[in-house]
Amino acid sequence: MLPVMRSAMLALAAFALAACGEKTEDTADSQPSAAGGQGAGGEISAGRLAGAANEPEVWLSDGRTYSAQRYSPLTEVTAENIEELGLAWFDDYDTYRGIEATPLYADGVLYNILAWNITIAYDAATGERLWTFDPEVPREMGRYACCEPVSRGLALWNDKVVIATLDGRLIGLDAKTGEEVWSTQTFSNEYPYTITGAPRVFDGKVVVSQSGGDMGVRGFVIALDADTGEKLWKFYLTPGNPADGPDGEASDPIMEMIRETWSGEYWKLGGGANAWDSIAYDPELDLVYVGTGNGSPLSWHYRSERKGDNLFVCSIVALNGDDGSYAWHYQMVPEEDWDYTCTSSIVSAELTIGGEERKVLMQAPKNGFYYVIDRATGELISAETYVKVNWAEGIDPETGRPIINPDMHYDTDPVLVYPGPGGAHNWFPMAYSPRTQLAYFPAYQSGRVYALDPDYEPKPFRSNSGWGGYSGDILEKRMALQAQGDADEQAWLTAYDPVKQEIAWQVEMPRHGNGGVMVTGSDLVFEGTTRQTFAAFDAETGEELWSYPVQSSPVAGPISYMHDGEQYVAINAGWGGGAAQIERMSGIDRPRAAARLLVFKLGGEKELPPLKAQEPVPAPPRLAASEAEVKRGAQLYAETCAVCHGQRAMGGVSDLRHMTQETHAKFNEIVLGGLYVDKGMASFADILNEDQAEDIHAYLIARANEDWGAEN
């Protein structure tokens, strides 16, 4: 889950310090917690969800239908009239946090969820807010969110909106009023779990997993009754401490089989495999498909003594929907060593392969291969690369296992591996058109240098990689290799033929972080781009047909819906999360607007306000600390702060080189006293003392002075 970072060491923990230039509120415009208003006009039953393909005007679940194809059959907006597509309405949010959610639409109402899980219902034609619900997530939870306190979506069931909160609650809201109906806590705060993925509702069950694999947790997926919040089943994705005995959960019958693929004291940091985004469903087979994440620690050496496949890290696991029991699994990356996750979109389709119609799952995960799998059995049908890959030489068609390049299992000597941990395709939603029979997704080619840290020690509640090589001759070699990887970096919107296993067309993009994709029945592909536009492309050729400057780079998945005979297209534009952190850490961050929801229709005439002028970078204070203090601060910063605030203090959630004199004066109050906890900056007094905080501050002052002349 951690982002790839140019020529820099991967951080070991989250550290969310607010600084100059950030908004003072990370909430939507002031609204009551839940205000009355009209809501869904019809209940969202199991039959309606299963038959959503027959209601082209709605978008009832994260992927629109259980196939998760993100295909809208609507055809009012076409290549011929798309130049008339304009802004119908928008809603500004008072936050620069990332907004990654796919909105939902049913019966005249648009539902959206923001950072910190603030949930809003709108009149879908006018943008009038009908109600707002704030679950009041403790802001200190932002410390444990790898890539900001984001939410990727919500769910609808009967007369309810179901949300999952960063602090582990599943909440059922009355769809008409926004009032809480039920709430269930799905994990304890004994471990640094969070939830950032969208909950999914299947046949009256709401299914969700959690994030936190980098922080040292044991992945699981849980199902609750969507009407009451009552727990129905739970399935662990890695083995626990064998001394503790059975878990008493649905995973117990196969836990011994899982355990045989691990070695050492793997349970101390949980093993990872968190299913932090994609979960899918087949109503005919009653199978829930769970895409799992990276291992914990990230290094296979420190996680499992370089032994075993480590099930179910980086896999698709199929569970029986009724009771959560195991059905089958397919592991994309046994011996996972590179922070590869298999949490990207899982899409169902019917493909004709070798003259036979096959019911398949498709996924393009971070490891650079595009997979086509039989969704009833888990049998691999085909897998080919779509970017530069060197961690594996291919996939053995007989066994389905990757042919792992042993040279890419790094030791203390640095090696350049493709793809890097940002992934060839990360969480940004993929679409598939049954008309063109092509899949559409943002692809990213990158290489990252890996090496073991010989002095690594597990650190609970901090990010655990086991990676090193950041000093002396090793650092010089690392930087030379990384320069080669940087030269190979490219980003595209990719159209992929899953039957031929080849790229159909690509559109080059400026950098990583291009958004989720939606395709329509009129063969239009919509995507937010790192050109700071929302754009539409010809689904057959890739020709760009329309773009709208949105003053940001939308990373979320767009939707389309029909209301009163008019087709609308909606997208959240909130540049944030891991991709944004990469840009800020690379020093190529661009001016951007605060997050907002944008809704378009033919003839729309609304206009966005101009961007606010940027504040000048304040002059840094004089460096008075010793070289030894700065060096200690650099190490502590890397271990504790860099995931949120960037390698070498460049960028991140807020750029700490740009602190005001006032912020400098309050540094210890912020870091140790929790002064800015309301902004997501928790106190770190549990793992840092005053001297250590002062050393970090000294390092930040040193970095600000180093770059002051270059930035002005």
Mean of pLDDT values over 555-560? 97
d(CA 535, CA 548): 6
SS3 338: coil
**Does the pLDDT of residue 1 top 90, yes or no?**
no
d(CA 580, CA 347): 26
What's the confidence (pLDDT) of residue 335? 98
**Does the pLDDT of residue 6 top 50, yes or no?**
no
d(CA 28, CA 116): 10
Looking at residue 419, the DSSP 8-state letter turns out to be S
Residue 203 corresponds to which tokens in the numbers above?
């046949």
Higher pLDDT: 623 or 82? It is 82
Describe the chain by its helix, strand, coil percentages, rounded to 5.
20, 30, 50
**Does the pLDDT of residue 404 top 50, yes or no?**
yes
**Does the pLDDT of residue 256 top 50, yes or no?**
yes
Which range, of 79-93, 173-187, 228-242, 679-693, averages the lowest pLDDT? 679-693
Which range, of 16-25, 423-432, 530-539, averages the lowest pLDDT? 16-25
Write phi, then psi, for 83 (nearest 5 degrees). Answer: -65, -15
Mean of pLDDT values over 423-427? 96
pLDDT band (50, 70, 90) for residue 650: low
Mean of pLDDT values over 316-341? 98
Which range, of 33-42, 50-59, 325-334, 409-418, averages the lowest pLDDT? 33-42
Question: Which residue blocks in 488-615 are alpha helix, DSSP H?
Answer: 577-585
Mean of pLDDT values over 136-140? 90
**Does the pLDDT of residue 8 top 50, yes or no?**
no
Mean of pLDDT values over 566-585? 81
Residues 6 or more apart whose Cβ sits within 8 Å of residue 147? 1, 2, 3, 98, 196, 577, 578, 581, 643
- Cβ density class 599-614: b for 16+ within 10 Å, e for less: bbbbebeeebeeeeee
Mean of pLDDT values over 686-697? 85
pLDDT band (50, 70, 90) for residue 708: low
Q: Which residue has the tokens 């889950």?
A: 1
Residues 6 or more apart whose Cβ sits within 8 Å of residue 605? 86, 87
**Does the pLDDT of residue 511 top 80, yes or no?**
yes
What's the confidence (pLDDT) of residue 688? 86
**Does the pLDDT of residue 25 top 60, yes or no?**
no
Question: Which residue blocks in 542-688 are alpha helix, DSSP H?
Answer: 577-585, 627-640, 642-645, 661-665, 667-671
| CATH label, 31-601, candidates 1.10.3720.10, 3.40.50.150, 2.60.40.650, 2.140.10.10 | 2.140.10.10
Mean of pLDDT values over 266-277? 95
Cβ atoms < 10 Å from Cβ of 399 = 9
Compute the mean pLDDT over every residue in the chain, rounded to the nearest whole number. Answer: 89
509, 592, 646, 659 from 586: Cα distances, Å: 17, 16, 9, 18
Q: Say what percent of the chain tops pLDDT 90.
A: 71
Cβ atoms < 10 Å from Cβ of 435 = 14
362, containing H or E segment: strand 356-363
CB 594, CB 612: distance < 8 Å: no
What's the confidence (pLDDT) of residue 620? 81
d(CA 326, CA 396): 25
pLDDT in tens, 657-672: 888 888 888 888 888 8
What's the confidence (pLDDT) of residue 23? 35
From the candidates 214, 282, 339, 523, which is the catalytic residue? 339
pLDDT in tens, 309-320: 999 999 999 999
Question: Which residue blocks in 448-597 are alpha helix, DSSP H?
Answer: 472-487, 577-585
What's the confidence (pLDDT) of residue 712? 41
Strands (E), 530-595: 533-538, 544-549, 559-563, 566-573
Higher pLDDT: 276 or 31? It is 276
One-letter amino acid for residue 555 of the chain: V
What's the confidence (pLDDT) of residue 634? 80
What's the confidence (pLDDT) of residue 709? 54
Tell me the CA end-to-end span of the chain in Å, nearest whole number. Answer: 34
Q: Map out the domains of the chain as residue ranges.
A: 31-601
What's the confidence (pLDDT) of residue 580? 66
What's the confidence (pLDDT) of residue 30? 34
**Does the pLDDT of residue 227 top 90, yes or no?**
yes
**Could you give the count of Cα atoms lying within 13 Å of 283 in the half-sphere of its Cβ?**
18
Mean of pLDDT values over 35-60? 79
Which range, of 177-191, 233-247, 422-436, 672-686, averages the lowest pLDDT? 672-686
d(CA 292, CA 375): 16
Helix 690-711 vs helix 627-640: crossing angle, to nearest 10: 100
d(CA 418, CA 665): 43
pLDDT in tens, 531-552: 999 999 999 999 999 999 999 9
Q: Taking Cα atoms as reference points, which of 56, 45, 39, 28 lies closest to residue 111?
A: 39
Burial of 227 (0-12, 13-18, 19+ CB in 10 A): middle
What's the confidence (pLDDT) of residue 14? 34
d(CA 311, CA 254): 11
339 included as an active-site residue: yes
**Does the pLDDT of residue 656 top 50, yes or no?**
yes
SS3 244: helix
Higher pLDDT: 161 or 465? It is 161
What's the confidence (pLDDT) of residue 32? 35
CB 26, CB 115: distance < 8 Å: yes
**Does the pLDDT of residue 678 top 90, yes or no?**
no
- Torsion over CA: 684, 685, 689, 695 (sign): positive
Higher pLDDT: 368 or 638? It is 368
**Does the pLDDT of residue 264 top 80, yes or no?**
yes
What's the confidence (pLDDT) of residue 220? 98
**Could you give the count of Cα atoms lying within 13 Å of 66 in the half-sphere of its Cβ?**
20
pLDDT band (50, 70, 90) for residue 581: low
**Does the pLDDT of residue 429 top 70, yes or no?**
yes
What's the confidence (pLDDT) of residue 645? 75
